[in-house]
Structure 1
């Protein structure tokens, strides 16, 4: 009945509002509304009838024990509990009826529609009477208790039985006779009602306080100012007393009780004291110690019991001790669970009675101007420490309950045997002693004790027979009985309690001193104590016999989800999950990142299991289960997402912390902030069976699926981030991918996820067997075309490319840097800052570290494609420069002679300017210089790549050479140590021969297979060792590309001798370009050299060298000739101390020419070393496009012989 009222939701809210155009259908709407509401009102009528019947029966039962002429004694303890429970149900019904505002609202609509639809009905008088009765019932506060009061005092007064109930309740509360928390809460709920009714009788109302001092009642009401009644609805004893005093006039004179403050009226100091009592956070330390101690002792008791079961012929006393210890542990477990769950109930009731008034500054921005009452009592009423304590206590309750439930079948026999032994020892030995001594001459009491023995004694397990009982008693020896796993029935337990009560009280309701008080009793204190002890044990026997149901009751925390009262008061259909207490606990564990709580993160989900079970079994409401199921689905999805994010962040941070430079950490004073605290994710990663609403969820597979997705998203982000930066970010990209890969390795130890190489290839779009151009390679090539080659300049001294200071001709369009959480970088903000500080060291240039990263990221699959693309770029750039150079050639004079010495530096410079009539060709000159610069940048880039690849080849050779039996020879060749097979092949062959020769070898075929695989590996690794030089290949490729234009750029002398006046050779063009940009670099700020760098020299000198014009260039270069003139001029005036050119301002120009000459000499010396002109035929390229290596190897081709074409 209480479930119907508690889960009642207003039907009026769902009624549609008819528009004006449908007013003619209003009668049909009234009829439909009446039919819907009539179903709900019929339930309320049933509750009305039931409460009237229950009140009548309870009153009749009380009157039956209150008549002076009654012929039966009692009531029994069981009867007292039954009356109190029925009274508690009536109190709860009355309280719900008063609290539910939707019920009278719906009834008013129901009555209105009844008036409209009943006009045409023939006879409605009886129905109107029912409506009037129901209206009075619903509109009258405390109608049920008022009706009960009338029924109880209708015939005669029932003060005696009311006082007995009050005494029983007070003693039970003071002596903790209520074994489980539901019984204690029930006593607290009915006690104020009993006091009001007992003091409102026609007789002397003060007689109650002769049996129960008022101070005892006041202490009880003050100790528990808030009583749990429903999940989100509490009761207050003082509030009940004050409200009922308006309906029971005689009670209104009890000023001492009525002056007690209600929870919201408590003074601040008292409220703080109560808060220390109610809040779990103040007791969690003691609870933690109790849990740890109980878990250890319960496990020890279980081990002893298992050892006992595996031992044959064990000692009887030891068996009794082990099983008795197991029984004590179960009793203690029940008491702990009852006490812990009661604390959760009471804390919730306290929170509901004391809503949050002030919201902290951290929450003020999140809150709107008005927020619901439920948010005040739940969402913002629990601090972080309180949520942590609640999660910990929930995990303790669930873990202890689960441990005890799993051991049900193992300990059942031990519990039954112990209970059997307790009962038989009492009825066969203790009662026998009492019959022989205390009750020997008291026939009435002796008869009751004999009845107890007859009712409960198990003589079949006794070595003595009933016939020899008298003889046993006379000799004073106790009966010996064999233990049997046969527990007493519930009827036997109730009868024993009744008979003990009869012995102690004699059926006198007014017996002073309470149930086991010694006032006026003829029973000795020792015997009374034995009876009391056994009486209380009997009460616990019933709970132990109903083992599973008791554990289910004590571990049921489903009340933490329900919020029916606040749904009605807030006028909402449902609250968001942020207001749901179970989800708040889960979210707190995930957000707090507490290692101690992490293993308990799934415990709050068991609250949903309890609430769903309560909704279906107790409340019997399917719509509540549907709401719980919907919330669980939503919450669990969010939980998996947040959990995976926490796991990913932890392993990413762990990986980033391990990959930090140790010297960097050593130099820091606060290096501990970069260390990662260990988290206990391992147990969560092993969970494959999570029970949730009757379903089994494989959490491990869900996490693995999500982690595969997160790793791919992280790789996608890293590539998107790289695409929004320049080529210098390749070092940072490699570092971040290394961190991600290492985190994948760490996580793979605990979770089965896809290989990292597969994810990386998938994100690089490099899965296909015929795909040679990965996403990263394409991006690098695109970046080199659009930004690197046009806008970066070479510094030959530092072997680095740096960004030019000039504004790009075409602005580089890049996507914006994508935003991501810190865990997509290095995990935490501190680690991000540390790694970014290293990345910034390489962000301003491109050099060898960047090339190492590029080679590692591209690998042997995509790197050849990029090399071929760059070589094709050289070829295309040369083809593009050809018409431009032709245009420059046409403007030069037909004959250019040597510069005269007699004009000095000034005259030479004037003559050069006259001969180089390129004034109208400034744009063309700049374009040619940029083209030569790009060719030089590519060639130098190839040189850096060659250095890195040679280093990798050397490392690879050092690792494989001992197994292949190779030694480095002269001129880069490799020699074999033995003419025969390599050591690795010999090793496997000899091992195979030795193993196969053994006749007990199970499978010789597999060893022969291993030997063949060793031979294949030998051939594969030897083939990969013979790699050519990338730089030599690039020079050979460039030489082949220049062969097409050799006739235009390198005219053969007509006489066979060097023609000193020729002006059409490329070296003349480059000489003029060089002196031009050197002059501009001196005159302009920033100088032109800073805009073009050293790449121009590399490009120009390489073309000159490959065209065979190095000697011509060194002889006829304008800058070289001017330097010679300057040297002669300087030698002729050595006697003067001032510079011969300082007055004319040529010092800077001459210094620039010297630097250019030194750089050109360096380039030519490198070209001579890597591509000698006398071996030019050896450096040529075959018709197939493959280079002929300069150094010949037997049966070996260049590493780039099968280089793929760009775009394939």
Structure 2
């Protein structure tokens, strides 16, 4: 054992030990130099002339040639002898370093495109030949011979391209840890030669023709001329003919002894017809052996070697024919078994094996980011090249090849297990990224489509909002993908993941809305519209779940008895906690804006999570554009927001919001009762009219004596805020009514011509036709005409269609009788006020109007309005931005519904103050100049509060005019909301205390 270990150590420590021992053993044989030179010449010529069809054969020649050169040039004399036969430049060209495949990509693409065109042309000619009858034999041979040449050239191209990849990988594996990180952007796209029955018959017939032409014609000529007197060589030629000649296809079997020497060359030509019957591998090997024996004379050690013509006695011309046919026979072996040849040429499984990397890097696991197949797939995904996306699965063939090599060649199961684990991970990542690409692309297209075209054209760089077209049709059609022997339905996987992405996106948008205020409803509606259009685009190719079903599922609104959803719950929660307490109304712009002075209630929200980029609008530019548009609606709530609310909630959840808001108004009115009573107790029992004698100053003094609410400032503030919330809720209802009326008008204009409806007086709808609608009449006439025709095979379909038209007409007619949401809200508020009518509206004891009472609500609101206006002038920190115009809406609505409008307009402190100011201003104009100047300066001190009072009066008059138009006091007019969510038309009921109990029952 010790000696064996010593021998092994010596062997391993001795450089070039195998080569030196081989050199010592070989040169004990004579003429070994000639044999080495013949082998070197053979290797060089085979490499230069591409005689090695398969790259493994070429790789063998490349590995053998350096060893042969080293062995043949062990001395200076032998080197000179070798370089006389083989120029050193030829060896340098063979070993020239061209390992970088990037330098060959242009040539490979050009060769690929040129070969594809010529192969398609050859296939077209073969199809035409197959479909033609009685074609010329020469033309048929030319076409099939051209197909044979094209196939051989295709094999050579595949071999050359695979060889380039081998060389690249050999260089890369020798440098596992480069100095700089390289970007793996190399991709390949191989076209396998399509060898079907049409091509295979052409190949076999061409090979049959080549073999028969040589053995029946050329060998026959050699037997008659060169080998006529050489019996040994003639016997070899005869054996070759006997072995491979197809005499069944020959009409005149040739025997050299039966022919006369005086026959001409044309008469000696044999006539045979090529058949698609190729020689076997055994026949080809035997022919090669016989040719070797023929040209070597049975002794391969003779000087000159194979085809050297240094003693065989064969003429140069015949020797050249034998050499050409010999190399063709080597091609025939690969072409006959074209399936195995294609598999060998396109086998790139070696690209996955990287034990050298693991050993050099001293790591136990290969990172997937460094795996070449995944690098190619990831490059296609990141580059989003439209041409490469269709071939994104081609790199997975590397895993198939490497797994086949691991099981069949290496017979290592653990390697297969490692490949399988990596394939599972890569395919999962591929499916994920592929879904993200497809979703991002179609979402960008949807966002670009919905983007306002005027905005796009107005931008200088509007081109960035257009999406570059990509094609995913080929990917959508992949139902059977073979990976490691398993069939994977990629289309089904994409569909499942796409449904998941849609649900995740909807959930993200809803969660984002839940973490914001009510003003973000416009952005939510925009993003959901983009998502819906994206769903429609992808649904043309994939069987996705219904968008409405996914939206209902994410909103937790699948139950048939559920009238609430995440959006409706969030809207109502925001209205309760943030919108009604913190937003103020601007009646001029019809907008609610957030108050900048003091927050009555604070709203606590969690920070919004940052979602994936494709959860917004697809591309970054489109996302920024839509965020800019949504930012225009971020700081207020108005009509655009109400349109979004109506579209998001629909007729199913909107009534729940209306009912909750009305209940909120009712609860606020109930909560106001004790507060109003507290303010009433602080007022004098009798309040008279303001006197004109004291002027503005006297009136102000009298009002201050009446409004002794200093001790109840907190109660007064709470009453103002409660009135602000009631007014905001009522105005919110008025905006909702505007939006619903516009939507109803649009639907009416679309359906009225088909239903035969025309607008009448007082908002009523009249029927232009007494019996049927134009739509049903049209379909009934068509049905009668079709059913009466004897050529109609199945009239039941048209009968069903006519019945469905009648049902549709009834359905649309029932939805046209819609009322006003605002009228319903006013009626509900009036019914809620009727409970407290006796507390806020004192009944005159004498039957006449009591102008001195202080128990009516209008007295409280008058005092609140006066003190509020005065505080807003005297104290700049308490300007109107704190409460806005909602207080006026609430106060005027309550006074109007209680029947106190005229009382308020007659006895309001602000109105009386303005009347006194007008009289005093008119009186000042009659004074002398000195007194006029003094009085004018005095009036200017009150100009601020006077202007505020004028604005308040204009606002009150606007509110009262709207209320008189929508809710006349003669008899309360309102509408009801049906269980389906659609408002019904106006219904009248008496103004009684029990109206709240009976609402919305129609009075008989």
User: Is the shorter-chain TM-score for this pair beyond 0.5, marking a shared fold?
Assistant: yes
Residue in structure 2 matched with residue 432 of structure 1 by the alignment:
220
- Structure 2 gaps of 5+ residues are 990-997
* Matched ranges for 1:359-398 at <5 A: 359=180, 380-381=181-182, 383=183, 387=185, 390-391=186-187, 393=188, 395-396=189-190
Residue in structure 2 matched with residue 1158 of structure 1 by the alignment:
954
Corresponding pairs, count? 984
Measure the CA separation in 1 of the matches of 2:80 and 2:216: 41
Q: Are residue 1147 (structure 1) and residue 968 (structure 2) matched?
A: no
Q: Are residue 161 (structure 1) and residue 32 (structure 2) matched?
A: no
Residue in structure 2 matched with residue 101 of structure 1 by the alignment:
none
Q: Contact 2:406–2:412 (CA<8 Å) still a contact in 1?
A: yes
Q: Contact 1:1175–1:1190 (CA<8 Å) still a contact in 2?
A: no
1:573 deviation in Å? 2.2
Measure the CA separation in 2 of the matches of 1:520 and 1:1140: 145
Q: Contact 2:482–2:488 (CA<8 Å) still a contact in 1?
A: yes
Residue in structure 2 matched with residue 1025 of structure 1 by the alignment:
816
Residue in structure 1 matched with residue 601 of structure 2 by the alignment:
810
Residue in structure 1 matched with residue 52 of structure 2 by the alignment:
178
Residue in structure 1 matched with residue 590 of structure 2 by the alignment:
799
Summarize the Cα distance change of 1:779–1:348 in structure 2 as closer, same or farther, 3 Å threshold: same
* Matched ranges for 1:681-830 at <5 A: 681-830=472-621
Summarize the Cα distance change of 1:169–1:132 in structure 2 as closer, same or farther, 3 Å threshold: same
* Matched ranges for 1:564-963 at <5 A: 564-963=355-754
Q: Contact 1:652–1:827 (CA<8 Å) still a contact in 2?
A: yes
1:993 deviation in Å? 1.7
Summarize the Cα distance change of 1:213–1:670 in structure 2 as closer, same or farther, 3 Å threshold: farther
- One of 266, 271, 296 as aligned partner of 2:117: 296
Instruction: Give a deviation string over 1:1024-1043, Cα, whole Å, max 9, x none.
Output: 01001000000000000000
Instruction: Give a deviation string over 1:96-141, Cα, whole Å, max 9, x none.
Output: xxxxxxxxxxxxxxxxxxxxxxxxxxxxxxx777666666666666
Measure the CA separation in 1 of the matches of 2:876 and 2:320: 110
Q: Are residue 342 (structure 1) and residue 179 (structure 2) matched?
A: no
Q: Contact 2:773–2:809 (CA<8 Å) still a contact in 1?
A: yes
Summarize the Cα distance change of 1:762–1:1139 in structure 2 as closer, same or farther, 3 Å threshold: farther
Instruction: Give a deviation string over 1:948-970, Cα, whole Å, max 9, x none.
Output: 10000000001111111111111
Measure the CA separation in 1 of the matches of 2:586 and 2:739: 18
1:195 deviation in Å? 2.8
Instruction: Give a deviation string over 1:855-884, Cα, whole Å, max 9, x none.
Output: 111111111111111111100110111111
Q: Contact 1:806–1:1091 (CA<8 Å) still a contact in 2?
A: yes
Summarize the Cα distance change of 1:878–1:1191 in structure 2 as closer, same or farther, 3 Å threshold: closer
Residue in structure 2 matched with residue 1173 of structure 1 by the alignment:
969
Residue in structure 2 matched with residue 305 of structure 1 by the alignment:
126
- One of 121, 140, 152 as aligned partner of 1:331: 152
Instruction: Give a deviation string over 1:463-487, Cα, whole Å, max 9, x none.
Output: 0124487438733231111222222
1:1127 deviation in Å? 0.3
Summarize the Cα distance change of 1:1202–1:883 in structure 2 as closer, same or farther, 3 Å threshold: closer
Measure the CA separation in 2 of the matches of 1:281 and 1:1042: 85
Instruction: Give a deviation string over 1:24-54, Cα, whole Å, max 9, x none.
Output: xxxxxxxxxxxxxxxxxxxxxxxxxxxxxxx
Summarize the Cα distance change of 1:1182–1:996 in structure 2 as closer, same or farther, 3 Å threshold: closer
- One of 264, 268, 275 as aligned partner of 1:475: 264
Measure the CA separation in 2 of the matches of 1:454 and 1:205: 49
Residue in structure 2 matched with residue 1060 of structure 1 by the alignment:
851
Q: Are residue 413 (structure 1) and residue 178 (structure 2) matched?
A: no
TM-score normalized by the length of structure 1:
0.78
Question: Aligned Cα RMSD in Å?
Answer: 2.8
Measure the CA separation in 2 of the matches of 1:1064 and 1:1134: 39
Measure the CA separation in 2 of the matches of 1:324 and 1:358: 52
Q: Contact 1:870–1:938 (CA<8 Å) still a contact in 2?
A: yes
1:1016 deviation in Å? 1.1
1:450 deviation in Å? 3.4
Summarize the Cα distance change of 1:519–1:665 in structure 2 as closer, same or farther, 3 Å threshold: farther
1:311 deviation in Å? 4.2
Instruction: Give a deviation string over 1:221-266, Cα, whole Å, max 9, x none.
Output: 56436xxxxxxxxxxxxxxxxxxxxxxxxxxxxxxxxxxxxxxxxx
Q: Contact 2:821–2:983 (CA<8 Å) still a contact in 1?
A: no
Residue in structure 1 matched with residue 69 of structure 2 by the alignment:
195
Residue in structure 2 matched with residue 224 of structure 1 by the alignment:
95
- Structure 1 gaps of 5+ residues are 1-126, 226-273, 360-379, 1194-1200
Measure the CA separation in 1 of the matches of 2:319 and 2:36: 25
Q: Contact 2:227–2:234 (CA<8 Å) still a contact in 1?
A: yes
Measure the CA separation in 2 of the matches of 1:422 and 1:595: 45
Measure the CA separation in 2 of the matches of 1:312 and 1:1188: 81
Instruction: Give a deviation string over 1:612-640, Cα, whole Å, max 9, x none.
Output: 00100111110000000000001111111
Q: Contact 1:420–1:484 (CA<8 Å) still a contact in 2?
A: yes
Instruction: Give a deviation string over 1:420-447, Cα, whole Å, max 9, x none.
Output: 1101011111222333344455555444
Measure the CA separation in 2 of the matches of 1:669 and 1:824: 27
1:977 deviation in Å? 1.1
Summarize the Cα distance change of 1:594–1:1186 in structure 2 as closer, same or farther, 3 Å threshold: closer
Measure the CA separation in 1 of the matches of 2:171 and 2:260: 59
SS of the residue aligned with 1:820? coil
Residue in structure 2 matched with residue 210 of structure 1 by the alignment:
81
Q: Are residue 1010 (structure 1) and residue 801 (structure 2) matched?
A: yes
1:322 deviation in Å? 3.0
Measure the CA separation in 2 of the matches of 1:444 and 1:215: 33
SS of the residue aligned with 1:278? coil
1:504 deviation in Å? 4.3
Measure the CA separation in 1 of the matches of 2:649 and 2:58: 73
Q: Contact 2:978–2:984 (CA<8 Å) still a contact in 1?
A: no
Measure the CA separation in 1 of the matches of 2:373 and 2:977: 75
SS of the residue aligned with 2:835? helix
Instruction: Give a deviation string over 1:269-304, Cα, whole Å, max 9, x none.
Output: xxxxx4xx3322222223222222322332333343
Q: Contact 1:864–1:1203 (CA<8 Å) still a contact in 2?
A: no
Deviation larger for 346-355 or 1052-1061: 346-355
SS of the residue aligned with 1:1173? coil
Q: Contact 1:459–1:466 (CA<8 Å) still a contact in 2?
A: no
Instruction: Give a deviation string over 1:742-769, Cα, whole Å, max 9, x none.
Output: 1111111222211211111111111111
- One of 874, 877, 901 as aligned partner of 1:1110: 901
SS of the residue aligned with 1:283? helix
Q: Contact 1:544–1:550 (CA<8 Å) still a contact in 2?
A: yes
- One of 1105, 1120, 1124 as aligned partner of 2:915: 1124
TM-score normalized by the length of structure 2:
0.93
Summarize the Cα distance change of 1:1192–1:1146 in structure 2 as closer, same or farther, 3 Å threshold: closer
Summarize the Cα distance change of 1:754–1:1189 in structure 2 as closer, same or farther, 3 Å threshold: closer
* Matched ranges for 1:143-162 at <5 A: 144-145=18-19, 148-149=22-23, 152=26, 158-162=32-36
Measure the CA separation in 1 of the matches of 2:875 and 2:258: 132
Summarize the Cα distance change of 1:208–1:466 in structure 2 as closer, same or farther, 3 Å threshold: farther
Residue in structure 2 matched with residue 486 of structure 1 by the alignment:
277
1:309 deviation in Å? 3.6
Measure the CA separation in 2 of the matches of 1:895 and 1:470: 154
Instruction: Give a deviation string over 1:876-896, Cα, whole Å, max 9, x none.
Output: 110111111011111111001
SS of the residue aligned with 2:938? coil
Q: Contact 2:205–2:278 (CA<8 Å) still a contact in 1?
A: yes
